[in-house]
Structure formats: C-alpha cells, structure tokens
Structure 1
Amino acid sequence: MTKIVGYAPGAYDMFHVGHLNILRQAKQHCDHLIAGVVSDEMCLLTKGKSPVVPLAERMEIVSHISFVDEVVAEVVPDKVETWRSVQFDVIFKGDDWRGTPKGLKLERDFAAVGVDVVYFPYTIHTSSTLLRQALDGMVAGRPEAARA
C-alpha cells in the first residue's frame, strides 16, 4: 500500500481555529501531513504584508499540532518548485481559492505533475486578516499601546 503524503501550505499567522480545521481535515485525507509554513519574505511578496508572528515561532506552533507529521518553511513563491523538494501527492487549500485565477493556476500546474488539489471549507468567522484588523483597531484606539 502506497503512503499518501499531503501538503498544507499557509502563513499560519496568529494561529486560530480555521488553521486547525484545515490541518485536521488534511490529515484525514493523507497518511503523512506536511505543513508548509510560508516564510516572512514570501508573505510580504504574496500578500503585501509581513506576518505578526515570526516564522520560527509559527513553525514551532504548527509542529506541535497533533495532526501535523512534519513542518517545512516555504521559501519560494512557486508551489511546484516546493513540490520538487518536498514531494507530496496532494495539496490542501481553503475553498476561498476554488475557481479563482490563483486556484485555477494551482490546479493546472499540479495536474501536470500528478498532484491532486483538495479544497476544504474556509472558516469565514475567523481569519488572520480579521484578527489583524481587530489588533490594528485596538492599537489605533489606544495610542499608548503603539508606543509600548
């Protein structure tokens, strides 16, 4: 029996239940789950902003999630290039990617190398973006907090 290796990339910034849901669901679809924690530089390049929590700390947090078998730093923007070094059979993404130009490109690129793309429901009520907005609002409302 062939072991299925799964890959779940993400920034995993300000780790929350949406991240946990993706990792839990991913582990149900593979034998060995690798979490690819996107580097600070790649977050800045792809999202236009740096994460709140530094890469080493995000990797430490994700490595202690029971569903995760291995953690790697994702340091290149091209997921297929990451696949060449990590070697996985299936990649997991939130369904907010489904049908988007990025998602369609991901599907085409991975179809060419025999990797399945599996989408899981996006946790709408919680996201790192919402958490960041809440923190920014708290700091904006308390000027002394910004100086601390």
Structure 2
Amino acid sequence: MITIITFGTFDLFHYGHLRILERASDLGDKLIVGVSSDMLNFAKKGRRPICNEHERMKIISALKCVNEVFLEESLELKEEYIKKYRADILVMGDDWKGKFDCFNKICDIVYLERTPSISTTEIIEMIKT
C-alpha cells in the first residue's frame, strides 16, 4: 500500500484544491491530508481563514479521494507527521518546489503543478472589488 500525504489550508474550497487532491490520490492507495490550523494559517499568511479549521476539515474529509484528515498545527512538525502517518510520498503544489526536498530521506517528494488562474487569495480579492 502506498500512502500519500499532503498539506494545505483549503480555505474557500475551489476547483484547484479538488484537482491537486485528486491528482495526489492517483499516486497511491491512501491519501492523508493535513489541514492547517487557524493559528498556523494566521502565522503563515497574516490573516485568519474565512472558513474555520473544523469547517475546512469537514469539507476535505467529505471528498471521496481523501482517506484521512488531521489538523496541521505547525510547519516544523512536517517530518513528524510524515513519519506518524507512514507516508511514502509527500505531495505539494509546485509553488513550494524544492522547499521540502529535505524530507526525501524519509519519503519521495512530488510537486504537482497548480491549476492556473485560481487561488483563494485571488477569489478573496475578486470579492473585495
């Protein structure tokens, strides 16, 4: 069994989120998703997510391509999460290309191309204007 792990905020769930999770799932037998906590999101992006962590986890866990969801509370714990869930492959969007290569000693790293012309930040900006 090949276990895939990925991480994200998944705020204002959109088609790009769905595509990366479906493509990640296609790489193995089990997809585990770490959803960034509200506090972690604020530390990363300087803003709170529109949907809270419980709502975002519920949305992600409802997807048929996702087998398990957990709350990611710290970027510094990625290695521990990879080991805890016995992930064979870490999948991230290509906007993170090279940033997680340090984990290739414990799992394979795959950077998937992001869906063009869609992001939560862009959606929020469109709503504001």
- Whole-Å separation in 1 of the counterparts to 2:127 and 2:108: 36
Higher relative contact order (CA 8 A, sep 6+): 2
1:111 aligns with 2:104: yes
On the 8 A contact 1:46/1:77 being kept in 2, the answer is no
Aligned sequence identity (%): 35
2:25 pairs with 1:31: no
Where structure 1 has 5 or more consecutive residues not aligned to the other structure, the ranges are 99-103, 138-148
Q: Does the CA contact (< 8 Å) of 1:76 and 1:82 recur in 2?
A: no
- Tell me the number of residue pairs that the alignment of Structure 1 and Structure 2 aligns: 128
Number of the residue aligned with 1:97: 96
Query: Under a length normalisation based on structure 2, what TM-score does the superposition of the two structures give?
Result: 0.92
Question: 1:16-62 CA distances to partner (integer Å, 9 max, x unpaired)?
Answer: 00000011101110111001111111111122221111000001111
Partner of 2:41, secondary structure, is: helix
SS at match of 1:33: strand
Where does structure 1 differ by over 4 angstroms across 4 or more consecutive aligned residues?
A: none
Matches within 5 A, 1:39-118: 39-78=37-76, 79-98=78-97, 104-108=98-102, 110-112=103-105, 114-118=106-110
1:136 CA drift (Å)? 2.3
Q: CA deviation at 1:90?
A: 0.8
Query: Aligned-pair distance for 1:96?
Result: 1.5
Root-mean-square deviation over aligned CA pairs = 1.2
**Higher alpha-carbon Rg:** 1
**Mean Cα displacement is larger for which, 12-21 or 80-89?**
80-89
